[in-house]
Amino acid sequence: MRLYALTGGIATGKSTAVEIMRCLDPRIVFFDCDKSVRDLLKRPEVLAEITDVLGEGVVNSAGELERARLRELVFGDHRKREELEALLHPKVRKECLEKREKCFKNSSTTTFIADVPLLFESGFDFDQDLNLVVATSEATQRDRLLARSHFEEKIISSILNAQLPIMEKVHRGDIVFWNEGSKVGLKKQLSRFLYQLKIS
């Protein structure tokens, strides 16, 4: 079974790449780190751990996460962000490894891809064969974040500064899909990649 990590920067198009690959080859099994985090953040025991680490105010009286407050804390204080990541990342990696093991036991699964936004930043390793990167220019990242999330420039800069520069990820990736143009262009690149997998 082939193992790949898929990464990029915020708003570079990783989710779009996954959507395209699902359509091109429904047999590929994906693990979504962002979804894993979202699910973890709904668990009362995890929210209690986060409160212990970040203090009162990140969880409201209804027991729900105050996402704006969390974002303000972790992107405003790198130590808080590191504490949160130290809490969540091992849990996410454990889930990833469990899903990978299930795939190993399923003879019909030939490809497993983990979507890991902070692949290089966190040293997230699961014995993958190659690291795939979906990339754009930083200017495009900023434009997309403004258009889709309406974040202030200060928040956008804080988010981007919390990640490796996108060109550093390009340098460290094994295969790069450039997503500066249309969705059709990205699909062509992914189609070529998946075709090469089939004939190799």
pLDDT tens for 71-128 read 888 888 889 889 999 999 999 999 999 999 999 998 888 899 999 999 999 888 899 9
Give the contacts of 3 (CB within 8 A, at least 6 positions apart): 100, 112, 113, 114, 126, 127, 128, 129
pLDDT at 199: 76
Q: How far apart are CA 12 and CA 142, in angstroms?
A: 10
pTM of the model: 0.89
Angle at 103 between CA 98 and CA 104, to 5 degrees: 95
Residue ranges of the chain with per-residue pLDDT less than 70: none
Q: Which residue has the tokens 């949160």?
A: 84
pLDDT at 78: 85
Q: Which residue has the tokens 């495009």?
A: 140
Give all domains of the chain, ordered by start, each with its CATH number.
2-199 (3.40.50.300)
Cβ count within 10 A of residue 131: 19
